[in-house]
């Protein structure tokens, strides 16, 4: 009869990890899932930029389930597949260690991410992330040793979350108000989910109906799927309460990949003058839901804000800004 080694696993809560290894530096872990497109996004917030930059370089080198990494301030955002790919540390691991994400598995309303770390890099995935807010528990081999010259493989369990982009346009007048300011206040006061980003989208300054700057605004949240109705209700109520315009429109989109047609519409809204029906058509074809707050005209900019949301600095500029 064949005998197989049985790997014993211990499951520790964030509080138990903190007690075992001491308080470290992770300020939050959020795992966003887009099952329709077969992709996920792991967002890690840290108390310092050094570990974030170092982790980003190590995880990018290792490959595995990660397809892209960006760093903004003290936050690292990892685009991943849903599934498993082997991490490859390469010859550098002998001298500098390594760290990587092997797999992302959706398990009901939870997500299991399996990480591998070598040497000093094992502290980040074996002791720091497991105690971060947002973590439910972490599974370790019984004989695990963290740091030094050791190799560690752990599975971090987090809630399954989705990304929601909420956008709005036409909330001010030529005399009063600023859409970007109002939307940021509403987002920061929101008790549902976790605010990820606030984006100001510059639109065509030649639009006749503009107030001053002709910009719309979008915010993104990480939420559990069942929290969507409460999130939307918060924004609808606060926008109705605070808008100064009779043409305010809100839009929202759930997912990690903004469709190409929607991005194209958003980019062209910086130079083209659209009519509301064109925005309605693009929204309907690309999974964007429209909510009239006080009117319809804001739909043009609200849909454009979602289209431009993942464009980085391009969202805040005009096409000619890229030429200078």
- Residues 87-129 pLDDT 10s: 987 655 455 557 899 999 999 999 999 999 876 667 888 889 9
pLDDT band at 2 (very low <50, low <70, confident <90, very high): very low
Supply φ then ψ for residue 224, to 5 degrees: -75, 150
* 243 and 310 housed in the same domain: yes
- Residue after which a domain boundary falls, among 111, 135, 160: 160
| CA–CA dist 65, 275 (Å, integer) | 42
Cβ neighbours of residue 112 closer than 8 Å, sequence gap 6 or more = 103, 104, 105, 155, 156, 157
| CA–CA dist 265, 271 (Å, integer) | 10
Residue 296 covered by a domain: yes
Average pLDDT of the residues in 277-283: 97
Residue 230 covered by a domain: yes
Burial state string for 242-255 with b = 16 or more CB within 10 A and e = fewer than 16:
ebbbebbbbbbbbb
| CA–CA dist 78, 72 (Å, integer) | 12
Higher pLDDT, 284 or 152: 284
pLDDT-wise least confident of 25-34, 97-106, 204-213: 204-213
pLDDT band at 189 (very low <50, low <70, confident <90, very high): very high
- Residue after which a domain boundary falls, among 140, 160, 180: 160
Give the rounded percent of residues in the chain with a pLDDT score beyond 70: 88
pLDDT-wise least confident of 181-185, 223-227, 243-247: 243-247
Domains in the chain: how many in total? 2
* 138 and 174 housed in the same domain: no
* 177 and 295 housed in the same domain: yes
* 154 and 187 housed in the same domain: no
* 42 and 154 housed in the same domain: yes
Residue 290's pLDDT is what? 98
* 141 and 41 housed in the same domain: yes
pLDDT-wise least confident of 77-86, 245-254, 311-320: 311-320
Residue 127 covered by a domain: yes
Residue 86 covered by a domain: yes
| CATH code at position 188 | 3.30.70.2200
Matching residue, tokens 């685009």: 79
* 215 and 294 housed in the same domain: yes
* 32 and 151 housed in the same domain: yes
Q: What share of the chain is helix, strand, coil (3-state, %, to 5)?
A: 30, 35, 35
Residue 3 covered by a domain: no
Tokens of 184: 């940021």
* 115 and 195 housed in the same domain: no
* 43 and 108 housed in the same domain: yes
pLDDT-wise least confident of 52-61, 154-163, 202-211, 241-250: 202-211
Average pLDDT of the residues in 187-209: 91
Domain that residue 185 falls in: 170-322
pLDDT-wise least confident of 62-76, 95-109, 153-167, 242-256: 95-109
Q: pLDDT tens-digit profile of 229-256? A: 999 999 999 999 999 889 899 999 999 9
């Amino acid at each position: 009869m064949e005998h197989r080694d049985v790997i014993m696993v211990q499951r520790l809560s964030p509080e138990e990890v903190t007690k075992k290894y001491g308080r470290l530096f992770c300020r939050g872990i959020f795992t966003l899932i887009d099952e329709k497109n077969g992709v996920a996004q792991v967002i890690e917030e840290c108390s310092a930029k050094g570990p974030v930059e170092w982790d980003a370089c190590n995880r990018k080198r290792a490959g595995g389930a990660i397809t892209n990494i960006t760093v903004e301030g003290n936050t690292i955002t990892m685009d991943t597949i849903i599934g498993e790919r082997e991490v490859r540390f390469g010859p550098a691991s002998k001298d500098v260690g390594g760290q990587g994400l092997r797999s992302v598995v959706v398990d009901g309303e939870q997500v299991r991410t399996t990480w591998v770390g070598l040497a000093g890099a094992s502290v980040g995935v074996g002791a720091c992330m497991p105690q971060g807010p947002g973590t439910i528990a972490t599974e370790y081999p019984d004989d695990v040793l963290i740091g030094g010259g050791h190799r560690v493989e752990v599975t971090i369990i987090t809630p399954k979350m989705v990304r929601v982009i909420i956008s709005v346009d036409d909330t001010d007048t030529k005399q009063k108000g600023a859409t970007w300011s109002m939307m940021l206040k509403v987002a920061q006061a929101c008790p549902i989910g976790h605010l990820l980003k606030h984006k100001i989208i510059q639109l065509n300054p030649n639009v006749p109906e503009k107030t001053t700057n002709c910009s719309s605004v979008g915010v993104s949240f990480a939420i559990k799927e069942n929290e969507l109705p409460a999130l939307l209700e918060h924004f609808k109520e606060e926008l109705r309460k605070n808008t100064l315009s009779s043409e305010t429109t809100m839009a929202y989109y759930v997912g990690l990949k903004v469709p190409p047609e929607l991005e194209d519409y958003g980019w062209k809204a910086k130079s083209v003058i659209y009519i509301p029906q064109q925005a309605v058509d693009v929204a309907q074809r690309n999974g964007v839901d429209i909510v009239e707050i006080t009117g319809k005209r804001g739909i043009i900019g609200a849909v454009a804000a979602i289209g431009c949301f993942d464009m980085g600095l391009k969202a805040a500029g005009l096409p000619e800004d890229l030429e200078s």
